[in-house]
Structure 1
Amino acid sequence: MNSQVRGGTRWKRFALVMVPSIAATAAVGVGLAQGALAASFSVSGQDFKVRADELVGQDLIQYGGIAEGHSLKGDAQHHPVTISGFREAKITNMCQSLVTPVPGIGNITLKLQTGHKGRPAVAQNIYLDVAELDADAKFEQLDIGVAVGDQSHATKPQPGTVTSPFAFSQRAKTATLTNVRQKAWATTAGTFTLPDLKLRLLSGDQPCYEDEK
C-alpha cells in the first residue's frame, strides 16, 4: 500500500467529511453487542467495496429489499439491494474500502483488512445489503422460491427490512463463496470478530479491487 496521509491535514474539515462515511461501515469495523440491528437507519450516500478470498456462511437467507438514504448532497435516495443474511459467517482475507473526496485534499481511502494469517473473521447474525456481487458460489441444501416470511427459515429476515413477507427468497444450509468482489450499502451483525485488524487512511484511490472495464 502507498504511504499514509500525514501532517498538514485540516482535521476538523477532514472529520466532517469522513465521519459520515465511516459510520456507513461501522458495523464491519465494530462488533455490535445487541444483536442484528433493525434496518431502519438511513444509509449514507456512498457504497463501499469488500473483497475476500472466501466466505463460508451457515443458514443463508437471501431476498430483495430497499436501502433508504440520502446522497452526499442530501437528496433522498432508494437503493435496490439483495439482502443476504447468515446465522454465522467465516471470512478469510477480507478487505473493505471506501474512497471519499475531501475538499482541499483530494480522495482519501479508508481501508480495513482482517482475517488473514490463518485466522478468519467471524460474524454472528450478519446481514449484507449488497448492490453488486461477483464470486464463485456453492450452495448446499438449497431452496429457491421460498416466501421471505416463511417461518421455517433458520435465519429470519432482517428486522425492519423494506420488503413484503410474501416476496421471493432463497435459502441454503451452507453457502461457500470464493474470490468475492462486492459492493454494498450497509452491513449489520450481532457480533463481528476481526483478528489482526488493520485500518489505514491512504491518499488517493486505493480500493480493495478495481472495477472491470
Structure 2
Amino acid sequence: MLHRAGRTSWKRFARVLVPSVVAAAALGVGMAQGVLAASFLISGQKFQVALDTLDAHGLSIYGTVDVTRQGTLVPVVVTGARRAEISGLCQSVVVPIPVLGPYTLRVTGGQRSRIEARNLFLDATSVSSGQANFDDLDIGVAAGAVSKGPISPQDRNSRFFDPNGFAQQADSALLRDVRFTTVAVSATTFNVPGLDVRLRQGHHECF
C-alpha cells in the first residue's frame, strides 16, 4: 500500500533507501552475468558534495547501478529534482599526484546568492542530512510510476532501470546540512553565483 505523509524526518526516510540499494545490487549481478548492458560510464572516483540547503521542487529517489569504464559496478541511490535552489555548495575530490602527493580540488559557490539547477541528479553511495522536510511524500512507488520528480533519461533508457523497482517521490523537499558521497552529478542547467575553484596540496575535503 502506498504510504503518504505531509512531512517526515530524514532518518525515517533514509531507512527505506536500503531496498533500493539491494535492488541495485541485484541489477549489478545481472550485468555481471551478461544479462544487462551499461549505458552510463563513470570514473569511479568518489567525491563529496556538501550543501547548506537543498530546496527541491519535484523530488525523486531511486536505486540503480553505475558502471566504470573498467566495468566495475557501483550501486547508487539517485536523488533527482526537477528544479532546485541550493545555498552553500562545496564539492571536493582528492587527487593523488605522483611525487607531489595528494591534492584537493575544491569548488564552492552559492554563499550569498542561491544556485539554481534544473533536472539535477546526484548518484550517491551515501546521503545524510541534519534535517529534512518533505511535502506530499510517497514511499514505495514503482520507479516506472514516478511522476512528481524526474528520472534521468540515461537511467530510464538503460537496462538497469527496473520500472517495478522501489522508489520515492515528493512534491517538494527542504534539506539542511546535506552531505552526499557521490560518483556522478548531472543537470540540464546549473547556475552558480560566486563560483570559486581551488587546488590545494593535501586533504581539504568538504566534510
TM range (shorter): 0.7 to 0.9
Structure 1 outlier segments of 4+, above 6 Å: none
1:121 to 109, 115, 118: 115
Partner AA of 1:47 in structure 2: K
Structure having the higher helix fraction is 2
Q: 1:193 aligns with which of 182, 191, 194?
A: 191
C-alpha distance after superposition, 1:120-157 (max 9, x if no partner): 1111011110111110211110011111111x603331
TM-score relative to the length of structure 2: 0.76
Give 2:74's aligned residue: 79
Aligned length: 165
For residue 154 of structure 2, give the secondary structure of its aligned residue in structure 1.
coil
Q: CA RMSD in A?
A: 1.4
Map of 1:95 onto structure 2: 90
Amino acid at match of 2:51: A
Between the aligned partners of 1:91 and 1:53, the Cα distance in structure 2 is 8
Q: Does 1:181 align with 2:175?
A: no
For structure 2, which runs of at least 5 residues remain unmatched after alignment? 1-37
* Residue pairs, 1:1-213, within 5 angstroms: 40-70=39-69, 75-117=70-112, 119-135=113-129, 136-150=131-145, 153-161=147-155, 162-209=160-207
Contact 2:109–2:193 under 8 Å retained in 1:
yes
Q: What's the % identity of the aligned pairs?
A: 37
2:53 is matched by which residue type in structure 1? E
Task: After superposition, give the CA deviation of every residue in 1:25-76 in whole Å (9 maximum; x if it has no partner).
Answer: xxxxxxxxxxxxxx93311121100111110101101110111114xxxx42
